[in-house]
Structure 1
Amino acid sequence: MDSRFTHSIPTLGFFSPIHLHIIKLCSNGKSENERKNGDEERISKYSYVSPLCMSGGDGYNSYSTNSLLQRRVLSKAKPVLVKNTKELMINLNFPTYIKVADLGCSSGQNTFLAMSEIINTINVLCQQRNQNPPEIDCCLNDLPNNDFNTTFKFIQFFNEKNITSKESYFVSGVPGSFYSRLFPRRSLHFVHSSYGLHWLSKVPEGLEKSKMSVYITNSSPLSTYKAYLNQFQRDFATFLQLRSEEMVSNGRMVLTFIGRNTIDNPLHRDCCHFWTLLSKSLRDLVVEGLVSASKVDSFYIPFYDPNEKEIKEMVQKEGSFEIRDLETHGYDLGHCNQDESKRSKSGQNEANYIRAVSEPLLVAHFGDAITNILFNKFACHVSQHASCRNKTTVSIVVSLTKKKLSSCPKV
């Protein structure tokens, strides 16, 4: 395995001298207004969704420190990423300029791994084919609340360790939701997004009272599943339509989701599913009088774990892209069912991971007073379920090609 996917990256306190700028984009007028219609009440009701982002900085509880799982996922998706990068360059006849976007880049150690793989693949292929390497515009996108400062601290490592050629790439930050327009029409050649698209743009409408469950469980009414599925379908269709406007014909996308491998029972989630264990931990706090039941009842995770069939159907229905690759990989959180000390360590590791991706949401709704005790309980629940192997939770990797304009639906 490439050592970049296994070794910890040191924190750096300075910026690279390479070309770096931040782009602040305005919202897309009409389509954005249409999406906002009727949302005022929901924004107030679920205001905790607004600060959705990973925990910033590079401290003990940060996403940067607790993102080994995502690094493993990037490693598994690497063959698809490399293959599609090569095919893009060949099909576009080795263009002199390439614009690449990483959507939902987050912050910290993993941000530049996919981008550096794309750049290295392009440069090596150009050397092999005796072609001049293109100038590469590298756009890092996430929500405005993302910790871009921590992200850019790692540019020096990106510059010194990961790149075969330093003269021809330019890095920029693009704050904004990938459920809105981010780039000019027909300007993007390659889009990558890893572990971003299972996050929804908002909490689904029409959810019944949760009975202190933050997500779908085996005991949820079928209407809860349908509400989450409908929101995912709307969001993913929006994402595909907007990217089809921004991408050139024959452009490529490689997208990785947290998904599930169940089809027959859409409500089934393992007993050790991370949101199931978070619900258990919150219920513990209710029993201890630290949180009110009504407060837990009003909290929902804006998340959906699709299966392959649901992803494939939405791509085909939207119509702008053709599926090239569709793979499913195991979801490895490093669970261990051996001695007690290793179980405890596994529990703490998963608690740190879930905390890093959910703490801003939880703090916005519950405040920060309960956070430490909540994730101590979460770690205990994980340890108690150490023999669970997350049999239904998987990572799904899909690569897409933008159809030629004549074969795309009108937008």
Structure 2
Amino acid sequence: MQIYEELKARGLIAQVTDEEQIRELVNNGKATFYIGFDCTADSLHVGHFMALCLMKRLQMAGNKPIALIGGGTTMIGDPSGRNDMRKMLTKEDIDHNAECFKRQMERFIEFGDGKAMMLNNADWLLKLNYIDLLREVGACFSVNNMLRAKCYEQRMEKGLSFLEFNYMIMQSYDFYHMFQTVGCNLQFGGDDQWSNMLGGTELIRRKLGKDAHAMTITLLLNSEGKKMGKTASGAVWLDPNKTTPFDFYQYWRNVGDADVLKCIRMLTFLPLEQIDAMDSWEGSQLNRAKEILSYELTKLVHGEAEADKAQEAARALFGGSGSSENMPATQLPEARFSDGKIGVIELLVACGLCASNGEARRLIQQGGVAVNDQKVAAIDVTFDQEQFAGDGVVIKKGKKVFHRVYTA
């Protein structure tokens, strides 16, 4: 099976322009394609992970990826899929986040001469003259068509700023610029980006003629990625300092029964024949499928050694052996204890399970905290310092987050 057919079989493709040309381009390793990543945080998350896996697949098939860091577009903010305007970041924040993205992407994509490229749209967007842009590009966009775009639709009632309204033009200009300068002939993005991405395809054709073969594929990335990329406690990050390998493993271990095989198809590099054989799995076999999913994705993001540790810790914890050696852990310093005791609220904040005393208080009142399998019933519960000696105690937050706390 060739790569385009494999992408379809894995359930990745949502909409395409010029399907026959795209199939020819991709299957013959002739695509120079880009996916954009706006720098809104200092780590990539699970939604980005789906795009990185796609880039890796296409590179393995001989195509050339461009990882486009949105140093320029992040200064505006994409309104797609949002109910309010994004937080305005400083240029220093954006530059820092871009550097963090680069380090993480290098785990998935091979960069270098003749291989993948990493570009930053700040290099051309920040140099644009507004009047020149209006004359060169603005005349190619119909405001009526833009207002009908899905990416603006849900923002119209609550208010869409003129700043955000320009995002489609900036994104379109990215494709137009890279088509001319580095031979980028294909763009990929989430299915909620269709209108934005068509803007780039149409801009190229209007400015450079109908023989300028620029093509677009949108993928079932954003709808799935946004659903998968967050939990009740926040985003699932690729940075191990923000989401530990164990918590990353546990996140995937707890996907719903209905989603596990879809996730295996879309995200792992297991052969489709092996995945197809799992279609008939049910009951306890689905737990085995979740374990396969968790291990494969943790190995991709954090390496085999960390995946082994996470799997061993999960099996020990849920198999009843009580071992917590490879669980995320915090060592409490002596200063955290007052008269040899620590309150449960301070304990949750000290080990990073809650960001504030207020959040910790609410979590306890909602019945969401257990220590050594005993639910914490009141906010004034305290623990003796001696309880944290040796292996310490295991805190369970909600149903999925486990954390070991100990003293020296």
User: Which of these two proteins has the greater Rg computed from alpha carbons?
Assistant: 2
Between structures 1 and 2, the one with greater helix share: 2
Pair in the same fold by TM > 0.5: no
TM-score (norm 2): 0.26
- Point out which structure has higher relative CO (alpha carbons under 8 A, 6+ apart): 1
